[in-house]
Amino acid sequence: MTNKSGPILDVRNLGKAYGGVRAVNNISFQVNKGEIVGIIGPNGAGKTTTFNIIAGAERPSAGEVFLEGVNVTGRSTEQLYQLGLARTFQLSHEYPKMTTLENLMVASKSQYGENIFMNWLYPKLVHEREAEVVQKAGETLEFLGLEHVAHQLAGNLSGGQKKLLELGRTMMADAQLILLDEPGAGVNPTLMQKIGDMITDLNENCGFTFCLIEHDMELIERLCHRIIVLAEGQILLEGSMKDVRNDPHVVDAYFGSSGE
Ligand SMILES: Nc1ncnc2c1ncn2[C@@H]1O[C@H](COP(=O)(O)OP(=O)(O)O)[C@@H](O)[C@H]1O
Ligand SMILES: [Mg+2]
């Protein structure tokens, strides 16, 4: 049963162990519609593993994930994508042998043209849908400022352009919730600014909800309504940037408590 008024994402008592390592240890949090929630924490804190479980790339050892009130624990990435959950990766995941435009087009949900029977039974419908996808991909390219590389192979794009393409692919998905893993990693300050502006724009004007992992504290402070700090697989703190700054445990988590 769907619950539209509840949180869009509800993570309950999530756990993941790799052998003896407890990468994620009893994590619970929620993300509400329209929010931008930041996830921060030192390397190895369990941030990416948490995203992997939510996005269906890995199964949890314990706990459950609810998307708009539906228990989606253990569903595949593809099934979750169809339900409106999109994610980007710490390292870009483009199709290098396809053009930028094609990369956007294949990210669109429910491509009827891929279904041979749909093509045979309803060629007009398939054709109309394809035209819509082309138009949307064009608009997305314009939004990203990547029109000039529309027909270049994505493998030949710069690191920054690949980051933009990752964001564009989530836009094509009509996603309800977008998980961004370090959108600022390896990106120059100008592009960082631009990516931040785009996320704000998509949030404020298109109603996209975001949950993002990021090391750049300026970007986190600028974008996020709420911040969750992870350390050693657990939630250390949940609150505003001010709460984060004023918490001595956070400083310990980042710099160690050895007093060096
Ligand atoms: N596939 C894996 N196999 C074994 N250990 C893993 C695997 N993925 C992550 N880990 C371990 O789990 C912990 C959390 O990793 P990760 O979620 O990538 O942290 P973060 O993204 O916060 O840097 C680390 O100790 C890491 O070495
Ligand atoms: Mg990570």
> Band of the pLDDT at 85, cuts 50, 70, 90?
very high
Atom of ligand 1 lying closest to residue 19 CA: 4
Whether pLDDT at 111 is above 60: no
In angstroms, the CA 184 to CA 219 distance is 8
Contact (CB, 8 A) for 238 and 28: no
pLDDT of residue 233: 96
Task: For residue 85, report the distance from its CA to the centre of ligand 2, in Å.
Answer: 19
pLDDT tens digit string along 174-186? 788 999 998 888 7
String of DSSP letters for 105-139: HHTSS--GGGSHHHHHH-HHHHHHHHHHHHHHHHH
pLDDT of residue 157: 94
Task: For residue 157, report the distance from its CA to the centre of ligand 1, in Å.
Answer: 29
- Work out the average pLDDT over 226-236: 96
- What number of other Cβ atoms are within 10 A of residue 71's Cβ? 12
Q: Mutation test of ligand 1: which of 14, 16, 21 has the most ligand atoms closer than 8 Å to its C-beta?
A: 21
Task: For residue 181, report the distance from its CA to the centre of ligand 2, in Å.
Answer: 7
Q: Is the pTM of this model over 0.95?
A: no
Chain CA centroid to CA 187, Å? 17
Task: For residue 17, report the distance from its CA to the centre of ligand 1, in Å.
Answer: 9
pLDDT tens digit string along 39-77? 999 999 999 999 999 999 999 999 999 999 999 999 998
Atom of ligand 1 lying closest to residue 46 CA: 17
**Domain boundary assignment for the chain:** 9-91+174-255, 95-156
The set of protein residues with a Cβ atom below 6 angstroms from ligand 1 is: 18, 21, 23, 41, 43-49
Torsion, CA 110, CA 112, CA 117, CA 120, rounded to 10: 170
pLDDT of residue 250: 85
Which tokens in the block code for residue 70?
């539906």
Atom of ligand 1 lying closest to residue 52 CA: 17
Calculate what percentage of the chain has a pLDDT beyond 90.
Answer: 54
Whether pLDDT at 121 is above 60: yes
Whether pLDDT at 17 is above 90: yes
Nearest CA to ligand 1 atom 7: 18
Q: For 9, how many CA atoms within 13 A lie in the half-sphere containing its CB?
A: 29
Pick the range with the lowest mean pLDDT from 102-116, 140-154, 232-246.
102-116
Burial 21-54 (b: 16+ CB within 10 A, else e): ebbbbebebbbebebbbbbbbbeebbbbbbbbbb
Atom of ligand 1 lying closest to residue 24 CA: 14
The CATH class, in words, for 9-91+174-255 is alpha beta
Better pLDDT: 193 or 108 = 193
Pick the range with the lowest mean pLDDT from 54-68, 185-199, 223-237.
185-199
Encoded amino acid at 207, one letter: G
